Amino acid sequence: GGCAVRGQARLGSSGAAVRKAPRAAGAEEAGEDAEVNTRKKTFTEVQTERSEQAERTVLIKCPPKLNEKKLLQYLSSHGNIESHFFFENRGIHAVIEFSEKNSIASLQDAIGIPSSAEHHVVPFKSRLFTFTLKNPVSQAAEETPVHLSPQSHIPVKELIQKLCDADSISSQMYILLNEYQLTEENIKLRFLACSLVRDFARAYFPDSTVKPFGSSVNTFGKLGCDVDMFLDFHDIRKHGTKMKKGPFEMEYQMKRLPSERLATQKILSVIGDCLDNFGPGCVGIQKILNARCPLVKFSHQPTGFQCDLSVSNSIAIKSSELLYIYGCLDSRVRALVFSVRCWARIHGLTNSVPGTWITNFSLTMMVMFFLQKRSPPIIPTLDQLKELADEKDKHVIGGYDCSFVSDLSKIKPTKNTETLDVLLGDFFEYFGNFDFRKNSINLRKGREINKPESSPLYIWNPFEQDLNISKNVNQPQLEKFVAMARESAWILQKEDKTQQVINKEPWGLAALLIPFGKSNPSKMKNRMKGLGSETIRSLLDSLKLNNATSLQKAAGK
Ligand code: CTP
Ligand code: MG
């Protein structure tokens, strides 16, 4: 065999329980069948299954050219391979999922530790390996290109081109969804990143786990988005119940600290240091321990993800589950959210760095609220989901009742049959005219409620009823959102698709994904170019007078 696999590092060899997991859940291959299959699993079931899959998985850096069959053959000598894929991220990588966890221990026993005169390695064994050919020249003949599964979405320009070839706004929205949503492989990679970080956490806390939350798991994640992960000490609760039996009590002696926050900061600080010092490919570690929610940010080079690690926040997990349920209920939900998020990003309403702008999370909640307000509603209110909850769905966190149904089949499908064409236009119209000065957005009740305080945008945290999830948004940012929403509603109402298609101009959703207005007069000119003088006149009529001259100028008439 002309190959060698070198261990990059590994920790916590747990050659323990081996159990064959059920087949991968949630194959998001855009097929309806796959959708239906995912729908039946609860959020917790999907999460558990994927975490377990990730534990049986290794990541191997490969040479630019390789013989896929030979690599798989070599790895199969350590155990059956359940699934695998390749991806490009500063070199080719293979993700190999074994059927059984102990195959990894067998592989780890067989592979070498890197040696070099210039470096000294930290002898920390992980599930990240490097695969090299001992004799690249003689082996070159057998090499064939491998299929690489994409881990990023197509550029906006290319997307717009594709959208123009669609036959309705609704199909444009599904095209966008299919191009941008996380793929099965990307989701696996996200769980793998968490599982690799977990190996470090277990060096200190053998009972801990690291799980993704936020957009990696709530069905609204876009290719390229950060991995939010949290450290969970799940055994603590189990121990609590065990101790109740018998005539006496025993408990662990543990370090006592004045606050939970301080404990969180200390734990994150050492795990941050550990990743920084010993984590292969963990770079750019930033400890942000004084934030409201303390976290460690870092870049995980082997998977290519930017990661945010925090300590278990049960309420944030409940919001992820709630969004997951909404995302699974009706295919229009995710299509609308992806379009609105993409639109917001292009017009600078959201930003990848935190600030006074609206976050994707708030924006998603606004879309959910809008869908609750349709008649008939497309998704139920949180109070309705709470009514459907059974005994095992009961969760009270920090005095807040966070119970809601987890079994998707208990939720009646909506009778609403509106098209996405209508919903997109109405979304912009609804928020273009929303009374933000007076009203707040409440998903628990599914209706507007008088604002309890004067923040420009008030969206109730669905579980901590006295928190505003959009407290960061200032008045100018809200006004910009309203202006863009109005402009977009107007474009959708006034546009003449037939003309635009003839003139090969962006139409429908595509027209909304091009920056508007004065900042980009050439685009505006383009937008106006194909319109006949009749259309121009009616366009100008419907505009406010003070806008008319600049538009006319832009149109070059
Ligand atoms: N979260 C929250 N309250 C906030 C902000 C965030 O409860 N004010 C929780 C939500 O569960 C959210 C998660 O933290 O999903 C992660 O936050 P963030 O990364 O900001 O949002 P994502 O939903 O992950 O969206 P994005 O794709 O922009 O990362
Ligand atoms: Mg996130």
* Token pair for 497: 């698709």
Q: Please state the separation of Cα 299 from the chain's center in Å.
A: 16
Q: Rounded to 5 degrees, what angle do the CA atoms 353, 358, 364 make?
A: 110
Burial of 238 (0-12, 13-18, 19+ CB in 10 A): exposed
Give the per-residue pLDDT at 554. 42
Structure confidence by residue, pLDDT tens digits, 78-134: 999 999 999 999 999 999 999 999 999 999 999 988 888 888 888 889 999 999 888
Mutating to test ligand 1, I would choose from 182, 220, 228, 471 the residue with most ligand atoms within 8 A of its C-beta, which is: 228
Q: 440 near 460, Cβ under 8 Å?
A: yes
Query: Tokens 């990730």 identify what position?
Result: 54
* Token pair for 127: 């599930």
Give the per-residue pLDDT at 243. 58
Give the per-residue pLDDT at 528. 44
- What's the Cα-to-Cα distance from 260 to each of 265, 318, 417, rounded to whole Å? 9, 20, 48
Cα 531 to middle of ligand 1, angstroms: 42
- Flag whether pLDDT at 189 surpasses 60: yes
Ligand at minimal distance from the CA of 359 is: 1
Structure confidence by residue, pLDDT tens digits, 398-432: 899 999 999 999 999 999 999 999 999 999 999 99
- Flag whether pLDDT at 539 surpasses 60: no
Which amino acid residue places its CA nearest to atom 15 of ligand 1? 214
Q: 84 near 58, Cβ under 8 Å?
A: no
CA dihedral 318, 226, 62, 24 (to 10 degrees): 30
For ligand 1, what atom is nearest to the CA of residue 471? 8
Give the per-residue pLDDT at 46. 95
Q: DSSP string covering 439-507, please?
A: EEEETTTTEEEE-SS--SS-BB-SSSTT-BTTTT--HHHHHHHHHHHHHHHHHHHH--HHHHHHTT---
226 lines ligand 1 (CB under 6 A): yes
Q: In this predicted model, which residue has the larger pLDDT, 177 or 527?
A: 177
Which amino acid residue places its CA nearest to atom 1 of ligand 1? 316
Structure confidence by residue, pLDDT tens digits, 219-246: 999 999 999 999 998 655 555 555 566 7
Give the per-residue pLDDT at 123. 87
ipTM of the complex: 0.98
- What's the Cα-to-Cα distance from 372 to each of 323, 326, 376, 381, rounded to whole Å? 13, 10, 8, 6
Q: Mean pLDDT across the chain, nearest whole number?
A: 86
Q: 362 near 344, Cβ under 8 Å?
A: no
Query: Tokens 């003139």 identify what position?
Result: 503
pTM: 0.86
Q: In this predicted model, which residue has the larger pLDDT, 159 or 313?
A: 159
Give the per-residue pLDDT at 19. 34
**Taking Cα atoms as reference points, which of 466, 445, 470, 465 lies closest to residue 373?**
445
Structure confidence by residue, pLDDT tens digits, 50-78: 999 999 999 999 998 888 998 999 999 99
Q: 344 near 237, Cβ under 8 Å?
A: no
Q: Using pLDDT thresholds of 50, 70 and 90, give the confidence band for residue 135.
A: confident
215 lines ligand 1 (CB under 6 A): yes
Lowest mean pLDDT among 10-24, 48-62, 288-302, 449-463: 10-24
Give the per-residue pLDDT at 132. 87
**Taking Cα atoms as reference points, which of 433, 445, 336, 335 lies closest to residue 380?**
445
